[in-house]
Structure 1
Amino acid sequence: MDAQDNVPAPLVAGFMLFPDQTHLDLAGPWEVLTRLPNCLCLLIAASPMPVESSGCGLTLFPTATYDACPPLDLLCVPGGPGHLAAMEDEALLGFLRRRAPECRYVTSVCTGALVLAAAGLLTGYRATTHWLSLERLTRFGVDAVADQRVVHDRDRVTGSGVTAGIDFALSLTALLRGEDVARRISLQLEYHPEPPFGGGHPSVADPALVAKIRDQSAPYLASMSEIDARVADRLRQG
């Protein structure tokens, strides 16, 4: 806090944009963090060109680029189907590697954790991601945590699948601005979830439904495995 006017020190939070992200991975945390006092949130991409989200038709416009981005206090990588291409995007991975050391927190939501892992930024950390991709983290030297929606390990904060982005951002708010601010934002957003069906996690879902989703996802999971192998090999080779 500033001793004279009690205004919190400024924060700059950067959200990475790449094609085929899951929009809610970004939108939930964005809605929370843009409510932090004295916090500037940026959408960062390789170029100023618009970036289309996965499947939903929503298009976002970057507010900063890799080459023209101010110093960051917080870096957040959302996930979605496009994370597979992002894991092999050397320009994006290079940006993450360069900027991570300056940040107070390096973070992700959903499969954004795999992008951080591909950049070597989760090696030796505890982290989480979407349940279908949780085991993939171990290939990158990450201690994968299955039973937490938000995992905080030193300067890394990761959220599990999609809807956990709001939990993630409120937890991050408490770290950055204190629990009182997090409680205020939670109330402003009327964050009082009551899932109409439950079963939103494999630990409580019908096992038959979990098996069906795994079967339906088999081709996608196979492509993940191929890309993971290539990326892990590159990391081992330095």
Structure 2
Amino acid sequence: MDVTFVLYPNMTALDFVGPYDVLASMPGVSPRFVAATLGPVKSDNGLSVVPTDTFDTLKSTDIVVVPGSSHWRELLKDSGGIVEWLREVHPTTKWTTSVCTGSTLLAEAGLVSKATTHWAAREDLEVRGVEVSTDRVVFDGKVVSGAGVSAGIDMALRLVEAEFGEMAAQAVQVGIEYDPQPPRDYDSIPDSVAQGLKAAFESRQA
């Protein structure tokens, strides 16, 4: 089973590294990394990844994983060929998935009707005609979206369950010791802090 991770400049590293660690641990899974060229691609925090394929050479895959970026609005203006490639490869996939703001690219490609995303990008998803969910993982037919960043691990575990069964998903979860116990309850963050964070995110789009 080929699992293809989409790479592009300023992607968020954990958006694809989390799902990669989960999915690549399964027998028979062959990870691939696709980008516009075969040159190293640098994430928004400086991690460089070397693609195995390009949008011109890879025309089919079993699973696609589209990571998000803190520069998602800039990416929506010029995706560097990602949107066109997604439209082309989507008919060949068993699952087309996204993490964080990656769902806005699926929406731009016209591939999803209901999805989740990072909380700062919900409006960008909604204006593209998508029903926005606040759930951590959303299935919309064969399109699966995960919410912000770390939710990519949850999304990948759900894919493992769908493809390999509940016991396999449990084994992977135990193997990576995925048992989130954050120091802060998400719902306890003051509105003033949340608004400040949103403003910081939006300032990157200028």
* Shared fold, TM over 0.5: yes
Alignment check: 8 A CA contact 2:10 2:69 kept: yes
Whose radius of gyration is greater, 1 or 2? 1
In the alignment, structure 1 residue 45 sits paired with structure 2 residue 45: no
Unaligned stretches of 5+ in structure 1?
A: 1-10, 224-238
Aligned equivalents of 1:79, 1:102: Cα separation in 2: 22
C-alpha change, 1:214 and 1:143, in structure 2 (3 Å) is same
Aligned to 1:234: none
Aligned to 1:226: none
Aligned to 1:154: 141
Aligned to 2:153: 166
Aligned to 1:207: 191
3-state SS, counterpart of residue 38 of structure 1: coil
Alignment check: 8 A CA contact 1:128 1:144 kept: yes
Aligned equivalents of 2:195, 2:82: Cα separation in 1: 34
Structure 1 runs, 4 residues or longer, greater than 4 Å off:
none
Aligned equivalents of 1:220, 1:82: Cα separation in 2: 6
Aligned-pair identity in percent equals 35
Shift of 1:175: 1.1
Alignment check: 8 A CA contact 2:70 2:204 kept: no
3-state SS, counterpart of residue 81 of structure 2: helix
Aligned residue-pair number: 205
Aligned equivalents of 2:80, 2:50: Cα separation in 1: 21
Aligned equivalents of 1:75, 1:109: Cα separation in 2: 11
Shift of 1:85: 4.0
Unaligned stretches of 5+ in structure 2?
A: none
Aligned equivalents of 1:187, 1:219: Cα separation in 2: 38
Aligned to 1:177: 164
Aligned equivalents of 1:213, 1:84: Cα separation in 2: 16
C-alpha change, 1:185 and 1:140, in structure 2 (3 Å) is same
Larger RCO (alpha carbons 8 Å, 6+ apart): 2
Q: Normalising by the residue count of structure 2, what TM-score does the alignment of the two structures yield?
A: 0.93
Shift of 1:64: 1.1
